[in-house]
Amino acid sequence: MIHYKRSSIDVLEKIFRINLINSASGYKSANLIGTRSDLGAANLAVFSSIIHMGSNPPLLGFILRPTKVARHTYSNIKENSFYTINHIGYDFAEQAHHTSAKYESDVSEFDVTGLTEESLNNFHAPFVKESPVKMAMRFVEEHEVRSNGTILVIGEICDLYLKEELLEEDGFVNLSKGKVASINGLDGYSLPAEPKRFGYQRPHDTPSQMTRETQGSRFNLT
């Protein structure tokens, strides 16, 4: 087994170090965040740092790199508070990944990638039509991570849209049915297999009780 000490990590070649640490952290969600400036310019950017913050209220967070350079996603959110989160389908992962290229603020990534800009219920920010799961978000708060200058942006889900076939009886969104991609590192897109789900866990359960014994067990959470 290869062993990297903390001091060894610091002296690694930059790109090697970035790839190593980003991929070693594990599989992450693959999302496109859509925003629109107050002047009407649409922006779309790939993110792999969406974090579940809580279900009541429904909050999601994401990590934004330091704003020493232009961050159009952040600027647009600060202007009007609205953005969208769109899951990346494996079939359009290459187009989605190209949104990481640094275009000028007046260039729409929808136009250069061929992804389809979609408007739903007059929400200010654009959605990705091809995405099987999409959420309308409203900015709530932000927190600076002082150790590296990144920003944790937290937003509230205003609207949730998903393909009907993805939703199971207990509310579980089966992303594998929508061929939703995950990201390993910065640029490794994978297609997860059908999930193996387990029932609500109680102390002293035996191994045979850990799996879902019946369909009805999904609703027996007390």
Domain ranges of the chain: 13-219
Q: What count of Cα atoms within 13 Å lies in the side-chain half-sphere of residue 142?
A: 18
Question: What mean pLDDT do residues 4-14 have?
Answer: 94
First-residue to last-residue Cα distance in the chain: 43
Convert 195-207 into a string of H (helix), E (strand) and C (coil). Answer: CCCECCCCCCCCH
pLDDT band, very low/low/confident/very high, at 118 (cuts 50, 70, 90): very high
CA 78 to chain CA centroid, Å, is: 19
Lowest mean pLDDT among 45-49, 58-62, 66-70: 66-70
Distance CA 87, CA 83 (A): 14
pLDDT at 51: 94
Domain spanning 13-219, CATH class: mainly beta
- Residue 207 in tokens: 């191994």
pLDDT at 220: 40
Q: What is the pTM of this model?
A: 0.89
Q: Comparing C-alpha atoms, which of 107, 111, 112, 136 is closest to residue 41?
A: 107
Question: What mean pLDDT do residues 53-80 have?
Answer: 90
Inter-residue long-range contacts of 188-193, CB under 8 Å, 24+ positions, other chains counted: 188/23, 189/30, 189/88, 189/90, 189/93, 189/97, 190/27, 191/90, 192/27
Q: pLDDT tens, 30-57?
A: 999 999 999 899 999 999 999 999 999 9
Q: pLDDT tens, 192-222?
A: 888 888 777 788 777 665 555 434 434 343 3
List the strands of the sheet with 82-87, edge to edge: 42-47, 31-36, 82-87, 133-145, 150-162, 58-64, 51-55
- Cβ–Cβ under 8 Å, residues 142 and 153: yes
